[in-house]
A = this chain, B = another copy of it.
């Protein structure tokens, strides 16, 4: 399991190559890449803030729980912090499992968590100045889907 916070741009494809390499018993790798949108010019940059030592530890805890819950063979999470230009990757999640249902559900679950509950604070810069982005109602209900199951 690898959990990384980085203030440098990263290339998701290279992570996929490494994650898929030398797997003899993995049938399924699901990945998600979150990219910064230009919003047709309304967003010139995103700025992500984390709490070092707290944010990475919180993500590690949720990733360990996902490994147990979804019988994962491996997880890789990379999250950008700092200033992010449109088109750049913000977040990368990869899950490996024997079968596809577990890989998909774990990836979906981890993204819901990262979007609405992980300790990040996100500011969008645009022509009208910066504004803080907080989870949408949909982000919250998406995350709650996983609470209702046992």
Contacts and interface: CB of A to CB of B under 8 A. Distances in A.
Interface residues of A, number: 42
A13 B94 CA distance: 12
A33 B13 contact: no
A132 B138 CA distance: 43
Contacts of A108: 104
Interface in A36-91: 36-40, 86-87, 89
A38 B24 contact: yes
Nearest to A142: B101
- Tally of this chain's copies: 2
A32 B37 CA distance: 22
A108 to B, nearest CB: 5
Nearest to A115: B100
A92 to B, nearest CB: 10
A5 interface: no
Nearest to A27: B37
